Amino acid sequence: MEKIKILGLGPGNLDYTLPIVLKKIEESDVIIGGKRHLESLGKYTKNKEYFYISADLSKVIEFINENRDKKISLVVSGDTGFYSFLAFIKKHFCDSELEVIAGISSLQYMFAKISDFWNDAYISSVHGKNFDYVSKLREYEKIGLLTDFSKNTPQNIAKKLFENGFENAKIFVGENLSYENEKIYEFKVSKLKDYEKKFGMNVVIIKR
């Protein structure tokens, strides 16, 4: 029985997807992933069967179990080990049934874009979560965050930090990373809190 491939696509643009990942996709019979991710693969999905991940995640497991005789690849954005679908898959399949290939995470990419290293940074996702930016920034010199579009926007993060004495901290916002419309911004907290632009898909790096 073929192993289920879990493949990290990288930050978005296929130029940043590892060749081994594209090779595994080409060798697959079936590709599973989000609609946006599958559409981004273009020619690599030609003549392939594919299955879109929906809100009902149990359907993904059902589909995999019904197609175990085929070569299945499940693609995820960024890296497989950082807030990806891998955690859910591992609840239903044992390690020996999986082949996992890493990708470049958006935060890895972002740290490189600002010419910095990240081994000393606190890294997390704040998507839809309550997060104590203040205590983390007191503990760490750098914080790298996957944001959201409502609760934890760059502006809301800046407001919380400003209210707690970090008005001179720097915040880097990476928008639409790796795509042609990519933009990298650098702000002081005091400026970003009142910035009127609504950012697109983004990640944030905070430096004390």
**pTM of the full predicted structure?**
0.91
> Cβ(4)–Cβ(98) under 8 Å?
yes
Q: What is the pLDDT of residues 114-172, one digit of tens each?
A: 999 999 999 999 988 899 999 999 999 999 999 998 889 999 999 999 999 999 999 99
The encoded tokens of residue 33 equal 């992933």
User: Does 177 have pLDDT greater than 90?
Assistant: yes
- Domain 4-104 CATH assignment equals 3.30.2040.10: no
> Cβ(29)–Cβ(48) under 8 Å?
yes
| Residue 202, number of CB atoms within 10 A of its CB | 22
Q: Which helix (H) or strand (E) holds 109?
A: helix 106-113
> Cβ(31)–Cβ(7) under 8 Å?
no
Closest CA relative to residue 112, chosen from 188, 159, 174:
174
Distance between CA 97 and CA 117 in Å, rounded? 34
Residue-range domain boundaries for the chain: 4-104, 107-207
User: Does 190 have pLDDT greater than 90?
Assistant: yes
Sign of the dihedral defined by the CA atoms of residues 11, 17, 22, 23, in that order: negative
Residue 3's pLDDT band, with cuts at 50, 70 and 90, is very high
The encoded tokens of residue 17 equal 């997807």
User: Does 36 have pLDDT greater than 90?
Assistant: no
User: Does 175 have pLDDT greater than 90?
Assistant: yes
Q: What is the pLDDT of residues 51-98, one digit of tens each?
A: 999 889 999 999 999 999 999 999 999 999 998 999 999 999 999 999
- Does residue 72 or residue 42 have the better pLDDT? 72
User: Does 1 have pLDDT greater than 90?
Assistant: no
Q: According to the model, what pLDDT value does residue 128 have?
A: 86
For domain 107-207, give its CATH number from 1.20.950.20, 3.40.50.300, 3.30.950.10, 2.60.40.1930.
3.30.950.10
